[in-house]
Amino acid sequence: MTRTDRQLTRPACDKALLSDWDAQVGAAGPGVRGDFHASPGALALDCTGRVATKFVAGQAGIVLVPDPASLGALPERGWEHLLATQRARAAALGLPLDWELDERFPDRLPNRLAAAGFRERRPVTVLLGSAGHAAAGRGDDLPPGIRVQADSTDYAAVRDLARTVRGGDWSWLPDALAHWVRDDRAPCTVVTARTPRGRLVAAAWVRFHPGTPFASLWGGATAPAWRGRGLYRALVRLRAALAADRGHRLLYTEAMGSSRPVLCRSGFGPVRVLVPYRYCPPGR
């Protein structure tokens, strides 16, 4: 483990590494992520040129902002037009629309979104970790016969598990996984936990970012009856090991409250908070 990795939980070091992520991976755009932002589908560019919106397969739309700081230069009339356009697009499709804010956005944006009918939702934590440390973490005893392995085959089963665990449509996921696995910009590997009879009970994936020290972890889901039995942590260890084998020593992930404790026990540290704001058109 390098000196930087040992210091990963120190705030100054974390922020420097987060800046590296923003510059080396984040600047490449949403296509190298491993979530809905990066799923195949059409983008609708806003007339300001500063944002794009994306709606795929009945999913809540997302506002994508390549350069959050640039929004600070938008005049008042520009804000009114931007937000009116976003709301109209969501209303025409009959779908919610999300913004995710962090410290890079203008300070007044939360108030602007609230005034435009966007409502704050549960925050998401961005964490960074050392691949070597996470891969070498203490192994939990898995239930007898459970197999944890790289398993880029049955993407429909991964979709069905996501629907069971998280609700929602997720019909976009099989095509997205197949696309990411073939994507040389950020190759993807799916990992699964299966019972002795082959039933999928946990799944996740990792994307590798060539030319950078980073890999990113996405999509962890465990069937309700199998939670608390070490499966998620085993998937973290396996993905960390795959990243380390490819020479990626740092891991990026975004976590809700349920997975954050496991990640922190695996050596990850929080570096940013994402606060989603959602607009729901009338009737939704």
Short-list 244, 146, 140, 241, CA closest to 203: 146
What tens digit of pLDDT does each residue of 88-128 get? 989 988 999 999 999 999 999 999 999 999 999 999 999 99
Domains 29-124+275-279 and 126-273 fall in the same CATH topology = yes
- Residue type, position 155, single letter: Y
pLDDT for res 13: 56
**Could you give the maximum distance between any two Cα atoms of the chain, in Å?**
62
Calculate helix-pair angle for 155-166, 173-182, nearest 10 degrees.
130
Confidence band of 69 (pLDDT split at 50, 70, 90) = confident
Distance separating alpha carbons of residues 173 and 39, to the nearest angstrom: 7
DSSP string, 198-221: --EEEEEEEEE-TTSSEEEEEEEE
Question: Looking at the predicted structure, is the pLDDT value of residue 274 above 90?
Answer: yes
Please give the mean pLDDT across all residues of the chain: 88
pLDDT for res 55: 83
Task: Assign domain 29-124+275-279 to a CATH class.
Answer: alpha beta
Domain boundaries, the chain: 29-124+275-279, 126-273
Question: Looking at the predicted structure, is the pLDDT value of residue 272 above 50?
Answer: yes
What tens digit of pLDDT does each residue of 248-260 get? 999 999 998 778 8
Instruction: State whether residue 76 is helix, strand or coil.
Output: helix
Instruction: Judge whether 117 and 267 are in contact, CB under 8 Å.
Output: no
Question: Looking at the predicted structure, is the pLDDT value of residue 10 above 60?
Answer: no
DSSP string, 13-29: HHHHHHHHHHHHTGGG-
Short-list 90, 110, 81, CA closest to 277: 110
CB atoms within 10 A of CB 49: 9
Instruction: Judge whether 56 and 36 are in contact, CB under 8 Å.
Output: yes
Distance separating alpha carbons of residues 282 and 284, to the nearest angstrom: 6
What tens digit of pLDDT does each residue of 121-147 get? 999 999 999 999 999 866 667 899 999
Q: What does each C-alpha distance from 266 to 69, 208, 259 come to in angstroms? A: 33, 19, 11
Short-list 48, 23, 43, 20, CA closest to 31: 43
pLDDT for res 93: 87
- At which residue do the structure tokens 């975004």 appear? 254
| Mean pLDDT of the region 191-220 | 96
Question: Looking at the predicted structure, is the pLDDT value of residue 5 above 90?
Answer: no
Q: Where are the alpha helices (DSSP H) in 51-170?
A: 76-93, 109-115, 131-135, 155-166
Distance separating alpha carbons of residues 36 and 127, to the nearest angstrom: 19
Instruction: Judge whether 184 and 207 are in contact, CB under 8 Å.
Output: no
pLDDT for res 8: 54
Short-list 186, 240, 200, CA closest to 217: 240
Question: Looking at the predicted structure, is the pLDDT value of residue 189 above 70?
Answer: yes
Q: What is the CATH number of domain 126-273?
A: 3.40.630.30
pLDDT for res 140: 62
Q: What phi and psi values does residue 13 have, to the nearest 5 degrees? A: -70, -40
- Residue type, position 242, single letter: L
pLDDT for res 186: 97
Question: Looking at the predicted structure, is the pLDDT value of residue 1 above 80?
Answer: no
Strand partners, 216: 207, 252
Determine what percent of the chain is predicted with pLDDT higher than 70. Answer: 90
What tens digit of pLDDT does each residue of 229-254 get? 999 999 999 999 999 999 999 999 99
Confidence band of 9 (pLDDT split at 50, 70, 90) = low
Question: Looking at the predicted structure, is the pLDDT value of residue 43 above 80?
Answer: no
